[in-house]
Structure 1
Amino acid sequence: MHTTTSDPTAIPGTPTPPTPASATSKRPSIWTNLGFQIVVAMVLGAATGFLVPEVAVPLKVLGDIFLRLIKTAVAPLVFLCVVVGVTSAGDFKRVGRVGLIAMLYFEVVSTIALAVGLVAGNLLGVGKGMADATRAGLAQGKAPSGAAAPHSTLDFILNVFPDNFIGAFAKGELLQVLVIALIFGAALLHLSPEKRQPIESGLNRISDAFFEFIHLIMLTAPIGTFGAVAFAVGSSGANVLLSLIYLIMSFYAVVIVFIVVVLGAISTAFKINLFQFLNFIREEIYIVLGTASSESVLPRLLEKLPTYGCSRQSVGLVLPTGYAFNLDGTSIYMSMGVIFLANAYHVPLDLGQQLGILAIMLLTSKGAATVSGGSFVVFAATVAATGVLPLEGLPILFGVYRFMSIAIATTNVIGNSVATVVTAKLAGEFDAGMAQDAMARLRADRAAAA
């Protein structure tokens, strides 16, 4: 199974090795960097919207084309990611205590992260600054394409379960695709290893092909971003840009609070000095901040965490599984993004609807692993799965995804590192003496280097 690639510029399906400082001079030109191209596209789109709004408004079609291309890959990508994620967890009876503790921890903390994002999004009112732009679009008779007539609770529950394997994909029913994927993954686990191995291998190969497919689509992101931003600014002026800047600042503030308060409280409960531990993985955090990819430090953490006192068995099981099932930064991004779209497009969500969407995100956030631009693509899948949220804002949100992906990847890495230590302690797979020795060696090495 591939691990999370939070950088939308990374080549899907390709492991990313740690990035040493000496390798920075060998990086490709900044002009070929997709993130840089998207920033340039945003600037050009905003300038077009300000200077020639009558030209900018029709450019919305560019964002719509990009959105359509993204939607073609969402259902098969989510299916493949969830199936591979389920099978990679292996036989839970065989995995035993460590695996069970890890999965329970992942679900509890992921739920807390989603709830934090929802509460913060509501309290901070993200997306409300875009009201003028979306009101203008609705006044022209352009209702959000993702909107659907409200369903009763029983209709919603019934619609979750498919009556046709292929039909769920053809209709883009993401919840049905998730159900199919979960059942299919469970079925694979019931096969003998001899029968299961070629199927898993085939699914991984198909996944590689879809990763390349979505990678090619992502190359059109600057064009889609240019059109979407030009339209948004041309129809409403600076409100959209201010709203996006506010979203970025709010998101960074929320993830800092989550790390300090939520992960800090968990660490305190298990007698872990969070700031001391963050100092222990400081180099890995720097790499993630530079690459916006949590995958770039997975090999280093697999080697480093056992020196902190976690058994190699627990690290080898918990850390890679956490890359698929414990994405705290992704969870916060998705829940705040939902509130952003709801506020921007005047879609009132009551408490029951928000709890329902939270339940959906508990499933879809697990598909963020292995997807190029993982958090954004799976967020798009979640928006489509709700049936009530608009899709028009997705290209605009992708325009600022690069800025947010740095915080997403960093939070994911810190969350999974803490999860590994906590799980090792709960399972009796932790040596406190080794942790003290590791910190002493670290202080000595840094003192000598200074």
Structure 2
Amino acid sequence: MYVAAIIIDETGRAPAGATPLYRHLYVQVLAAILLGVIIGHLWPATGEALRPLGDGFIKLVKMIIAPVIFITLVTGIAGMTELRSVGRVAGKAFAYFLFFSTLALIVGLIVANTVQPGAGMNIDPATLDAGAVTGYVEKAKHSGLVDFVMSAIPTTLVSALTGDSLLQVLLVSILFGISLSMVGEPAAPVRDLFERVGLVIFRLVAILMRAAPVGAFGAMAFTIGKYGVGSLANLAGLLATFYLTSAIFVVVVLGIAARLAGFSIFKLIRYLRAELLLVLGTSSSESALPSLMEKMERAGCAKSVVGLVVPTGYSFNLDGTNIYMTLAALFIAQACNVDLSLGQQVALLLVAMISSKGAAGVTGAGFVTLAATLSIVPSVPVAGMALILGIDRFMSECRSLTNFIGNAVATVVVARWDNALDRDRLRLALDGGAPSPLAAPPVEQDMD
């Protein structure tokens, strides 16, 4: 028996026995996204009606996120020879998160001052519909530091695994993993059981991911059907600036970090192309979280590092969200003719650094965090958020993509930093030698 490889010969034809291109999930997801755009544009009402397909798929993935994190983190920590290794990895991860999150805020600030996408709009804040953003402002009131810390503590040990808070899952997983490690040999059967359960969980992930094209189709059809391609025209400058800034941050800033760690950012993006298309189609980086964890392990990152860095990164390493925050805040100020001094801009940046952590794990975190920041900085009218509410869905896609790539880079960098990276496996994976967990089932044939 052998598994057919994905190889294209010099004539451009797939050799006999190779998996056809259309069976690869990234191709299916891309086709689904394009079909969703067409349906949403030509038949908007139909596109809006397809929203349950996207929402249903995201709910399916969220259903499995807590078990994936719990199993990965518990078995990873339990397998560590020294418990202080957990603190060392966590310390390095948070040092990385703090540096690059702050850098993303600064990049957004510099670009907003250079390009000035909101200049010349001359908007009177009194004419804006403040009621449109009231809900986000109310959420922001409950995203302070104290609320953030308290929300990370579950009601019971089990409720963390049945709720929707990644932070609660992280807390329980770390404590349980440490306890398992401290018990030692008597807990070996439990550790072995969790490792076997992990095999079943990741097989379940592979099964759920086969529905990814359906989810991406429904989500994209809804987005285009509800908001329309034409809604992008009025604020095209801000959208273009945000997408370009995010692209530069990924290619230049994260690219340098990747190069220093010994790998290519472009090869990493190619390796994660199926997940990135899924994130693009659903506007949610959570939809690809289980697959990211599996692929980072396949690429040679230690399970303990993957279990710590990826879930915490989803709450604390939001590069795309941070770029969006400073860029959007200054866009609103410029559009409303609010002249911010350098000191006020620095204060805005400092507030954003804190509020971006306080709103971690909140649904619609990007917009909620922006509301929290503007509520604390009275110079910029909160009502100005109504200017970008219509295109926030399109900006959300870019935020999610940038956040996702940032967390993938962080995982490899921290693993390399902690000497927990198998460089040969990483090289093999990025060069196309490791199968994707999102790929279609391999074709097996009998050898003669």
Query: What interval of TM-score do these two structures reach, taking the shorter chain for normalisation?
Result: 0.5 to 0.7
Correspondent of 1:405 among 396, 407, 413: 396
| 1:259-270 alignment runs, 5 A limit | 259-270=250-261
AA of the residue aligned to 2:340: L
Whether contact under 8 Å (1:19, 1:296) holds in the other structure is no
How many Å apart are 1:360 and its aligned residue?
1.3
Instruction: Name the structure 2 match of 1:103.
Output: 94
How many Å apart are 1:21 and its aligned residue?
3.3
| 1:5-404 alignment runs, 5 A limit | 21=28, 30=40, 31=45, 95-131=86-122, 134-135=123-124, 178-181=144-147, 184=150, 198=156, 201=159, 244-404=235-395
How many Å apart are 1:249 and its aligned residue?
0.8
Whether contact under 8 Å (1:294, 1:412) holds in the other structure is yes
Q: 1:431 to 1:185 in 2, by over 3 A?
A: same
Task: Indicate yes or no: 2:428 matched with 1:437.
Answer: yes
Q: Distance in 1 between matches of 2:382 and 2:284?
A: 26
How many Å apart are 1:178 and its aligned residue?
1.7
How many Å apart are 1:181 and its aligned residue?
2.6
Task: Indicate the SS of the match to 2:428.
Answer: helix
Instruction: Name the structure 1 match of 2:194.
Output: none
Q: Distance in 2 between matches of 1:276 and 1:202?
A: 36
Q: 1:144 to 1:386 in 2, by over 3 A?
A: farther
Give percent identity, aligned residues only: 36
Q: 1:103 to 1:291 in 2, by over 3 A?
A: same
Q: 1:144 to 1:298 in 2, by over 3 A?
A: closer
Correspondent of 1:420 among 407, 411, 418: 411
Whether contact under 8 Å (1:113, 1:331) holds in the other structure is yes
Q: 1:276 to 1:441 in 2, by over 3 A?
A: closer
TM superposition score normalised by structure 2: 0.60
User: Can you list the C-alpha shifts for 1:252-300, whole angstroms capped at 9, x where unaligned?
Assistant: 1111111111101111222221111211112111212222211111111
| Higher relative helix content | 1
Whether contact under 8 Å (2:148, 2:358) holds in the other structure is no
User: Can you list the C-alpha shifts for 1:141-173, whole angstroms capped at 9, x where unaligned?
Assistant: x69989xxxxxxxxxxxxxxxxxxxxxxxx979
Q: Distance in 1 between matches of 2:97 and 2:406?
A: 10
Whether contact under 8 Å (1:347, 1:389) holds in the other structure is yes
User: Can you list the C-alpha shifts for 1:349-394, whole angstroms capped at 9, x where unaligned?
Assistant: 1111111111111122235543333312222222222222112222
Q: 1:179 to 1:203 in 2, by over 3 A?
A: farther
Q: Distance in 2 between matches of 1:369 and 1:32?
A: 34
Whether contact under 8 Å (2:258, 2:413) holds in the other structure is yes
Listed as ranges, the gaps of 5+ residues in structure 1 are 1-17, 38-88, 147-170, 189-195, 209-220, 227-237
Q: Distance in 1 between matches of 2:265 and 2:277?
A: 17
Q: Distance in 2 between matches of 1:300 and 1:118?
A: 33
